[in-house]
């Protein structure tokens, strides 16, 4: 058990007694009183070729960290450990849904990364050049990421479930000189072809591409190659005799770029650097997750997302631990198969997963995961969206029996790593299910109105960041004006997160959903997350998506779409019970306009509910503009969900 100490802490808009322990309070105050000294100390925990001349330089809207310092993200992830005698320690454990397993030590990964670095240089890739990686979550893809960073090139990883349009847009936006792919990826027992997507994408946005490298996994797969196409083996062979030396990078030079979530058709490519990003993810890995060299760490994400970058690849390897790399569907071939393999066979000590994954597993009932031995698991952390209290309770108390904490936290592609969370690695605070806990040490956050006026305790507003921290993206690739406009000019003097939130009397942060998804009922503001969490309180509900529907009397009312757990059947009685459950949780202000039982919910490729599709269903419109939502590869899925949901509603 973690000992809980009581003290007080003053946060913006909060002045009462809180649950913040003296240890955590001291960290927060140290960062607040002298942020430069705070982050200087954090940075000195990492190896540097040359230390910095200045910790922080802020020329709004952009900024620089550790100015003049020289480092390399890939060097600290690999070479440093091998040089200090840890070459034989397992770096990557690869597992896929077909049961295949491969283990790579730090020395083996470094050897392969050097080969790839040489091959990249032989291909003509130099410092500052961009490459697009459209590959399965695999050691090959991860080692290619590391090789690019090693030579000072910039990788842009695109989730290998995206369609041709999304891929083509991202290739064009990055100006990539080369595209790397595989012939297939594995998903739900099928070989999913990737090369046809690449062929189509190059017709859309391939003007800058000189080379296409294909990792051939299946000899039966054939494609029509053009003059730009190179096989994986030929790519490696070309590298013989070329340098694999590491490039010394100034701290503010880009390491990689990644498309962010957004509501515009043109993807925003967030930049993360060798210096500031590295300091942030390594520090937050320790402070928020307790990440250390003895861990067997499993992030269930895909390399195409920010979690895959930060906490499957870079932070675990910088920490010197073993990172589990999984390819496939988490619940295939059975809901417990892959979870059991990682937890029991590999001895996972830490798991980073998403609320969507938790709810997916919860839908299968208790039995599959109850049969897994979790005795070596020390903690589970969740991010991606709010971990609703019922899902938290199921994993924390039903499955783990309270033996290991399940910790929610919040961050964005733009922040690089955690910004809000429970500082498990410093001193675990009491968990409030559904809360992201507190702004972590070094994060100066405030909930304000759109005019920048601070909100009081329990008053909803927009979550903002008052001062840049090392992990925050300093720019968008090729769009300096858009960076300032989207992030620093919406609310004067603060970084605009786009999330609605409030801070309670204890200083805990509660996120309510995206600011543009707040439901306004008769003058009251209710977050979509709050309503969905209330539905999840009922034991029959597996998942739920809600939106606000226009109403002549109240302005808006709630329109809900409910997915039931296996073994439960929709009925008028259950509908009435669910409405009563929500009213009991939220009060009479939560007016349910309609409740629809559905067999699926439209989601993005990263698992977030596509509320725009729900709105199109409710308003009986064709969701013709869904190509502009964050994950364009989900368009076909979204249209299918829209058709199916409309049909189900009409037949109900």
Domain-embedded: residue 89:
no
The CATH number given to whatever domain includes residue 562 is 3.30.300.30
Q: Rounded CA gap, 429 and 23, in Å?
A: 10
Does residue 476 belong to any structural domain of this protein? no
Contacts of 185 (CB under 8 A, 6+ apart): 135, 136, 160, 191, 192, 194, 327
The angle formed by the CA atoms of residues 285, 290 and 295, to the nearest 5 degrees, is 95
User: 436 and 473 in contact (C-beta within 8 Å)?
Assistant: no
Beta-carbon contacts of residue 550 (< 8 Å; ≥ 6 apart):
556
Q: Map tokens 């189509």 to a residue.
A: 200
Residue 344 forms part of a structural domain:
no
- The residue among 379 and 547 whose pLDDT is bigger is 379
* Average pLDDT over the chain, rounded to an integer: 90
Within 8 A by CB and 6+ apart from 3, the residues are none
| 527 domain-assigned | yes
User: Does a structural domain hold residue 601?
Assistant: yes
Q: Is residue 417 part of a domain?
A: no
Task: Point out the least confidently predicted range of 28-32, 134-138, 216-220, 537-541.
Answer: 216-220
Q: How far is CA 333 from the centre of its chain?
A: 25
Instruction: Decide if 583 is inside a domain.
Output: yes
Q: In what order do the strands lie in the sheet with 101-105?
A: 101-105, 90-96, 322-327, 296-299, 350-353, 379-382, 406-408
Q: Which pLDDT score, from 0 to 100, does residue 240 have?
A: 97
437 has pLDDT over 80 = yes
Q: pLDDT-based confidence at 14, cuts 50/70/90?
A: very low
What per-residue confidence (pLDDT) applies to 618?
A: 81
Report the pLDDT averaged over residues 456-464: 95
Nearest to 343 by CA among 395, 394, 292: 395
Q: Does position 633 have pLDDT exceeding 60, yes or no?
A: no
Tell me the per-residue pLDDT of 552-608, one tens digit each, with 9 for 90 and over: 888 889 999 999 998 899 999 999 999 999 988 888 888 998 898 988 887 776 677
109-124 residue pLDDT tens: 999 999 999 999 999 9
Number of helices followed by number of strands (H, E) in the chain: 21, 31
Give the model confidence (pLDDT) of 535-545 as tens digits. 999 999 999 99
Look at the chain and report how many structural domains it folds into.
1
User: Per-residue pLDDT tens for 218-234?
Assistant: 865 555 567 899 999 99
Q: Do 341 and 298 meet the contact criterion of CB atoms below 8 Å apart? A: no
* 357 contacts 330 by C-beta, under 8 angstroms: yes
Q: Using the predicted structure, report yes or no on whether residue 476 has a pLDDT greater than 50.
A: yes
Q: How far is CA 209 from CA 161, 227, 488, 649, in A?
A: 21, 12, 33, 46
Separation CA 423–CA 287 (nearest Å): 5
Q: Compute the average pLDDT of residues 189-193.
A: 93
Stretch (H or E) spanning 642: helix 635-651
Rounded to two decimals, the pTM is 0.88
Phi, psi of 420 (to 5 degrees): -130, 140
Identify whether 607 is part of a domain.
Answer: yes
Q: Supply the pLDDT for residue 637.
A: 52
CA–CA dist 258, 273 (Å, integer): 12
* Enclosing H/E stretch for 28: helix 22-33
Per-residue pLDDT tens over the stretch 267-293: 799 999 999 999 999 999 999 999 999
Percent residues over pLDDT 70 in the chain = 90
Concatenated DSSP letters of 365-426: -SHHHHTS--TT--EEEE-SS---HHHHHIIIIIISTTSS-EEE-B--GGGSS-SEE--TTT
pLDDT at 15 over 70: no
Please determine, for residue 17, whether its predicted confidence score (pLDDT) is greater than 60.
no
Hey, what are 321's tokens? 């631990």
What is the reported pLDDT for 16?
40
* Whether residue 106 has pLDDT greater than 80: yes
> Given pLDDT bands bounded at 50, 70 and 90, which one contains residue 5?
very low
Choose among 27, 43, 40: nearest CA to 318.
43
Identify the pLDDT of residue 648: 66
Q: Which residue has the higher pLDDT, 392 or 265?
A: 392
Query: So what's the pLDDT on residue 209?
Result: 97
Residues 86-95 have a mean pLDDT of 98
* Domain extent at residue 615: 514-651
């Amino acid at each position: 058990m973690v000992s809980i100490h009581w003290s007080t802490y003053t946060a913006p808009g909060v002045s009462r007694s809180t649950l913040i322990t003296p240890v955590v309070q001291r960290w927060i105050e140290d960062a607040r009183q002298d942020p430069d000294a705070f982050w200087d100390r954090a940075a000195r925990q990492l190896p540097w070729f040359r230390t910095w001349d200045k910790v922080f330089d802020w020329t709004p809207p952009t900024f620089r960290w550790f100015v003049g310092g020289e480092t390399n993200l890939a060097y600290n992830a690999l070479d440093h450990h091998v040089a200090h005698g840890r070459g034989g320690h397992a770096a990557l454990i690869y597992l896929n849904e077909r049961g295949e397993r491969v283990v790579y030590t730090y020395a083996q990964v470094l050897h392969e990364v050097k080969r790839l670095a040489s091959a990249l240089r032989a291909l003509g890739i130099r410092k500052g050049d961009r490459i697009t990686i459209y590959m399965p979550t695999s050691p090959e893809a991860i080692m290619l990421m590391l090789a690019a960073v090693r030579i000072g090139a910039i990788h842009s990883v695109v989730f290998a479930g995206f369609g041709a349009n999304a891929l083509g847009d991202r290739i064009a936006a990055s100006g990539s000189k080369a595209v790397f792919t595989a012939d297939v990826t594995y998903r739900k027992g099928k070989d999913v072809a990737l090369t046809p997507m690449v062929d189509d994408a190059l017709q859309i946005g391939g003007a800058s591409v000189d080379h296409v490298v294909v990792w051939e996994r299946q000899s039966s797969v054939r494609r029509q190659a053009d003059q730009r196409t190179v096989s994986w083996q030929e790519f490696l062979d070309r590298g013989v005799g070329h340098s694999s030396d590491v490039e010394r990078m100034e701290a503010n030079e880009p390491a990689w770029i990644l498309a962010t979530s957004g509501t515009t058709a043109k993807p925003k490519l967030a930049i993360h650097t060798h210096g500031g990003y590295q300091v942030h993810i390594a520090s937050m890995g320790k402070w928020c997750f307790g990440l250390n060299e003895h861990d067997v760490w499993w992030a269930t994400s895909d390399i195409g997302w920010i979690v895959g970058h930060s906490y499957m690849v870079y932070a675990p390897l910088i920490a010197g631990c073993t990172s589990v790399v999984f390819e496939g569907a988490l619940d295939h071939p059975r809901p417990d198969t892959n979870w059991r393999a990682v937890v029991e066979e590999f001895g996972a000590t830490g798991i980073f997963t998403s609320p969507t994954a938790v709810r997916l597993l919860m839908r299968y009932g208790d039995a599959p995961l109850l049969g897994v031995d979790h005795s070596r698991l020390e903690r589970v952390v969740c991010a991606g969206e709010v971990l609703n209290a019922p899902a938290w309770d199921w994993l924390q108390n039903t499955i783990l029996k309270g033996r290991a904490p399940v910790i929610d936290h919040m961050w964005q592609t733009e922040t690089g790593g955690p910004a809000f969370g429970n500082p498990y690695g410093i001193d675990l605070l009491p968990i409030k299910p559904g809360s992201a806990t507190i702004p972590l040490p070094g994060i100066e956050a405030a909930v304000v109105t759109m005019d920048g006026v601070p909100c009081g305790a329990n008053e909803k507003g927009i979550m903002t960041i008052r001062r840049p921290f090392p992990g925050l993206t300093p720019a968008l690739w090729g769009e300096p004006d858009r960076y300032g406009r989207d992030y620093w000019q919406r609310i004067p003097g603060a970084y605009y997160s786009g999330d609605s939130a409030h801070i309670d009397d204890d200083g805990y942060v509660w996120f309510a959903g995206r600011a543009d998804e707040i439901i306004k009922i008769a003058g009251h503001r209710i977050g979509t997350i709050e309503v969905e969490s209330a539905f999840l309180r009922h034991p029959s509900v597996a998942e739920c998506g809600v939106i606000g529907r226009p109403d002549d009397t109240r302005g808006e009312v709630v329109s809900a779409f409910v997915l039931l757990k296996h073994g439960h059947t929709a009925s008028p009685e259950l509908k009435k019970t669910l409405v009563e459950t929500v009213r009991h949780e939220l009060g009479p202000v939560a007016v349910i306009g309609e409740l629809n039982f559905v067999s699926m919910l439209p989601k993005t490729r990263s698992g977030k509910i596509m509320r725009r599709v729900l709105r199109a269903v409710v308003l009986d419109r064709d969701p013709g503009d869904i190509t502009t939502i964050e994950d364009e590869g989900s368009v076909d899925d979204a249209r299918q969900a829209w058709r199916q949901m409309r049909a189900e509603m009409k037949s109900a």
